[in-house]
Structure 1
Amino acid sequence: MQIESISIKNFRVFQDVVIKNIPSMAVFVGANGSGKSTLFDVFGFLRDSLVHNVKSALINRGGFNEVVSRGSTGPISFEVKFREGSDGPLAVYSLAIGLHEGLPAVVKEQLKYRRGQRGQPWKFLDFKLGEGQAVINESEYGKPAAEMKREPQKLESNDIL
């Protein structure tokens, strides 16, 4: 997998950061306190959220109010653009985390692939607050005349990815 860009909003020191054209090997340098460790913690946070849940990932980092950028009003959000292989289709994973009824929740989660240069993206996942749809025939993606088959799903909790 090759990450091409990442957008981070309201995660600690990153109020609105976009890193584009990320090479397969990258070195991040900067002064102390400039966000190098926070950048790597973005990936740790996403891993912890996926393996456990968003609430647990936030608690391990001091809670929502310690993770969200100071003075921000919007949700914590991430958008990762990547490809499977060098010539694979562009995939976009987006995640927004906010407070719902005072508790951390996945406000929005999407995974979509672009179908060719001009086609509409396939939304493999499309969830809001623990409810949404997921494609159940993802192996058909890219085949001629393939039709998406979506299935409505409701998660046990709105803090699960």
Structure 2
Amino acid sequence: MAMIQGIRIRNFKSLKDITLGNVCDGSNTQPLTPITAVIGKNGVGKTSLFDVFGFLADCMKYGVAEACDVRGGFDRVVSQGENDLIELKLCCLSESDPIPTLFDLKIAKDKDGKPYVKWEWFYQFLGYDDNKIKLRSFLEMSDGVGFVHEEDEQTGKSFMIRMTDKDKQQLATATVTRLKSYPHLSSFRNFVEGWYMSYFTPDAARNINQKGAQQHLNRSGDNLSNVVEFMMDEHPERFQTVLERIASKIPGIGKISTYRDSVTRNLYLMLEGKGFAKPFIQSQMSDGTLKLFTYLLLLEDPEPAPLLCIEEPENGLYHQLLETLAQEIREHTSNARSQVFITTHQPYFVDALEPEEVWILEKGEDGFSTIRRASDDPLINAMVEESQPLGALWYSGYLDAR
């Protein structure tokens, strides 16, 4: 599984210039951890930071024009007062390759005001030789012209690429890997396209979808019944174990089972509530119960997304359940199944985290966001070592800028 080591964001909404983790820029910053939680007041840019990952995945899948359009257009995505470039730099490390790979992307507007790929570079950071950076390039593009390199260093060849104006709205990384096999590029494209962004709404998850079994939960969660059907059909023993585990985590639930209507063939979740004579189905679940069930099922996906992005999971959940969810997320990441990125307002959730896992996002005097890691503050580290919960320190103001 690949892991994001760091990301640099420039001119994306309120994120004019921030860096999380290590992007191999010589700063020797510690890489991101398997769990990354971002905290901060309302309006500081947490949603924008969450959306960066969705934006990059959309750029890879659909092109930069569509990625901008669904967000209101380039002018609404680029930072206010900046009309030139949106810049993203991503550093990743695969468990099968000890050398970090980096992806640089710059998006600009053409003469007609349409967004296009100004610059795209995919390469490996090999370290330093006589204080000079050593790199190995797989692809570099500038204004629609560039080169892609075969990956056998002994016999590999370089090929020139020239994109049309329309093609310049597509990432070359996505384009060339659909035409020919380039292992590093293909692996990176699949990694980014496989990211999961949670925009879960309980009302959507209450629907009984008619489309049949589906392997993965979608962004809104409205295919929950389809994922349940897939798990039941393809992984029956595992699914039964999953239902038992989830039931043990949700207060007031004695047993979770499934029921298929003999006429409509629709599949329903059946929850037996303690103290209730009859079970109830998912459409009758409370928002919190349905949300916790869905998150726990997401973490039990047999082939999970390499990156799970969850915005404010605490909404609708009783505060004591947040520790349960945090523990389940930690178990999920400890098994190297996915990396998890979370934004939250809830100190109870932060209580279950370590200082190196928590980033504080704030608004600077110029109106743009700044970010820092909780573990960068020696006082915070010392207090946590003395068994002070991190969320309680946040609630008490110790994580505020001083």
* TM-score, length basis structure 2: 0.37
Q: Deviations over 1:62-105 (max 9, x none)?
A: 00100000012440000011111286101110000011212211
Residue number in structure 1 paired with 2:175: none
Residue number in structure 2 paired with 1:85: 95
Residue number in structure 1 paired with 2:38: 28
Counterpart Cα distance in 1 of 2:43 and 2:102 = 29
Deviation at 1:149, TM superposition (A): 2.1
The one-letter amino acid of 1:19's match is: L
Counterpart Cα distance in 1 of 2:70 and 2:13 = 14
Q: Gaps (5+ residues) in structure 2?
A: 22-30, 172-402
Q: Gaps (5+ residues) in structure 1?
A: none
Deviation at 1:115, TM superposition (A): 3.0
Residue number in structure 2 paired with 1:71: 81
Residue number in structure 2 paired with 1:4: 5
- Quick one: which of 128, 131, 136 aligns to 2:145? 131
1:18 aligned onto 2:29? no
Counterpart Cα distance in 2 of 1:80 and 1:106 = 16
- Higher percent of residues as helix: 2
Contact 1:95/1:106 (8 A) holds in 2:
yes
* TM-score, length basis structure 1: 0.87
Is the radius of gyration larger for structure 1 or structure 2?
2
The one-letter amino acid of 2:141's match is: F
Deviation at 1:155, TM superposition (A): 2.8
The percent of aligned pairs where both chains have the same amino acid is 30
Bigger shift: residues 149-158 or 1-10: 149-158
Instruction: Give the alignment's Cα RMSD to 1 decimal.
Output: 1.8
Q: How many residues align?
A: 155
Contact 1:130/1:159 (8 A) holds in 2:
no
Contact 1:115/1:121 (8 A) holds in 2:
yes
Contact 2:84/2:109 (8 A) holds in 1:
no
Residue number in structure 1 paired with 2:162: 154
Residue number in structure 1 paired with 2:352: none
Counterpart Cα distance in 2 of 1:50 and 1:77 = 15
The one-letter amino acid of 2:79's match is: S
